[in-house]
Amino acid sequence: MVKKWFFVSFLNLFIAGILGFILRILQYYSINFPYSNFLHTHSHIAMLGWLYQIFYILIYLYFIPKSKKNQSLYSTLFWITQLSIVGMFVSFPFQGYGLYSILFSTLHILCSYYFCYLTFKNLRQKDISTLFIKTALACMLFSTFGIWGLGITMGTLGKSSILYSICIQFFLHFQINGWFLLGCFALILKVLDINYSLIYSKITYIFYILVLLGIIFSFGLPLSWFIHSQYIYFSYCFSIICNIAFLFLFLRFIHPYLLALIQSKSLSLQLLYSFFFLSLLLKVIIQLFLFNPEIAQYSYEIKNLRIGFIHLETLGIYTCLSFILLMLHNNWIDSKSKLIKMGTLFFLGFYFISEVLLFLQGSFIYLGKKIIPNYFFVLSWSSLLFPLGILFYLVYIIIFQKPSKNNS
């Protein structure tokens, strides 16, 4: 059962990669196409079809007790959720935000509500990782207020209103920087508990508070793009301080255990963890520049910087960690497989080239310099590495992946 979930989730990621390649290559060759519609399709498949679905699986594997693993119920919910993904994939390219795409998006939200209900109902442990996962799910629920607000705003003030943009940013912020970030740390702490039977001290709860405060107050950054206020500025500055503090605790109390766990594993796992760790480090370091209000504003206006930072989080942190966790959990993915090695190298190669080019060109635009030679050509064609890398993973899942009896 779960093997099919894996396959579908990776297929969603493969499709998101193909769409990303199409978006870049058609722009490079200046071919006229409905760019915004394809961008909506790409972002929805990547975030809801890949990240949401793989976190669904990881939470099921790591957090739901065996006695509570109602396979038929979770399976039915998974496939209904996947139906909503297929509906978005079919409807968004043709109509953007329209009747059918909104209906399927609504179906996905309702499925996520029921998943939260099931998970809260089945979580019995009272430890720090469970607190993290419950808060992550609460953030996911909270983020959907932005979607409901979006519908109301479209019908009253229209798409050109500031409130419309704020609703979008509200949803994205509490999804990417809330639900996925907290879920990420929940899974890390769970893995450490499984491997080391750690008894967490007050430091871990301080870590939790700092992460949560950073999430709440960092919403001041997207707000500052539309509303200029010193109070909003101070709120996201406070969040940066919280992020620096939680990074210090991560480096001091969590990273050493993770590093010890990964160092004894394969090269693929070591590379993935290196990119995960560097991405998390860069996420906080880059935010230091946002103390400058001018740079904070340009972080939204310069598309290269905005996309680069989103990919830093979604690919560098959450996707890398997802691959790591799947390789660690009862060998769901054999990191020593040649297919996995090739897939990992292709994926990380794309990620490295793309991030360097996006941030470098974004910095050039900010400094008023010219475009990097062959920037669009290299960025476009290197994007093909992403779906090719995921294709190796898909072939592996089809041919070699054998789930254990406990999880099938």
DSSP track, 88-131:
HHHHHHHHSSSHHHHHHHHHHHHHHHHHHHHHHHH----SHHHH
Per domain, the residue ranges of the chain are 1-62+64-122, 123-254, 265-408
Distance CA 94, CA 47 (A): 20
Question: Is a pLDDT exceeding 50 seen at residue 197?
Answer: yes
Give me the pLDDT at residue 314, please. 97
Res. 28: pLDDT tops 90 = no
| Average pLDDT over every residue of 328-342 | 86
Block residue for tokens 């509303």:
227
Residue 72: pLDDT band (50, 70, 90) is confident
pLDDT of residue 29: 87
pLDDT at 408: 40
pTM of the model: 0.95
Q: Which amino acid is at 358?
A: L
Helix (H, G, I), strand (E, B), or coil: what is residue 372? coil
CA distances from 299 to 101, 307, 316 (A): 29, 10, 19
Residue 201: predicted pLDDT: 74
Question: Does residue 405 surpass a pLDDT of 50?
Answer: no
Quote the pLDDT of residue 402: 56
- The beta-carbon contacts of 157-165 under 8 Å, at least 24 apart in sequence, are 162/226, 162/227, 165/225, 165/226
Question: Is pLDDT at 142 greater than 90 in this prediction?
Answer: yes
| Gyration radius (Cα) of the chain, Å | 21
Q: Which residue has the higher pLDDT, 110 or 127?
A: 110
pLDDT for res 126: 84
Mean pLDDT of 117-132: 91
Across the chain, which distance is largest between two alpha carbons, in Å?
61
SS3 state of residue 333: coil
- Residues 83-108 have a mean pLDDT of 91
Mean pLDDT, range 87-96, rounded to an integer: 91
Q: Output the pLDDT for position 407.
A: 44
Contact (Cβ atoms closer than 8 angstroms) between residue 133 and residue 191: no
For residue 404, pLDDT over 70 is answered with no
Q: Cα(26)–Cα(343) distance, rounded to whole angstroms?
A: 25
Which of 154-168, 206-220, 265-279 is least confident?
154-168
Q: Which amino acid is at 202?
A: K
pLDDT tier, 96 (very low <50, low <70, confident <90, very high otherwise): confident
Q: What is the pLDDT of residues 248-306, one digit of tens each?
A: 999 999 999 999 999 888 999 999 999 999 999 999 999 999 999 999 999 999 999 99
Asked if pLDDT for residue 41 goes beyond 90, the answer is: yes
Share of the chain above pLDDT 70, in %: 97
Average pLDDT over residues 73-97: 93
Helices marked H in 123-254: 128-156, 162-172, 180-196, 202-217, 220-224, 230-249
400: confidence class by pLDDT, cuts 50, 70, 90: confident
CATH number of the domain at 1-62+64-122, out of 1.10.287, 1.25.40, 1.20.120, 1.20.5? Answer: 1.20.120
User: pLDDT value at position 357?
Assistant: 96
* Residue bearing the bigger pLDDT, 281 or 161: 281
At residue 198 the predicted structure's pLDDT band, cuts being 50, 70 and 90, is low
CB 335, CB 265: distance < 8 Å:
yes
pLDDT at 94 over 50: yes
Count the helices and strands in the chain (H runs, E runs): 19, 0
* Percent of residues in the chain assigned helix, strand, coil, to nearest 5: 85, 0, 15
CA angle 289, 290, 296 (to 5 degrees): 125
Does position 369 have pLDDT exceeding 50, yes or no? yes
Over residues 346-357, mean pLDDT: 97
Q: What is the mean pLDDT of the chain?
A: 92
* Distance from the Cα of residue 328 to its chain's centroid: 19
User: Average of pLDDT values for 49-66?
Assistant: 94
Give yes or no for residue 81 having a pLDDT over 60: yes
Higher-confidence position of 127 and 274:
274
Nearest to 35 by CA among 17, 18, 22: 22
Q: Does residue 330 surpass a pLDDT of 70? A: no
The whole-number pLDDT of residue 401 equals 62
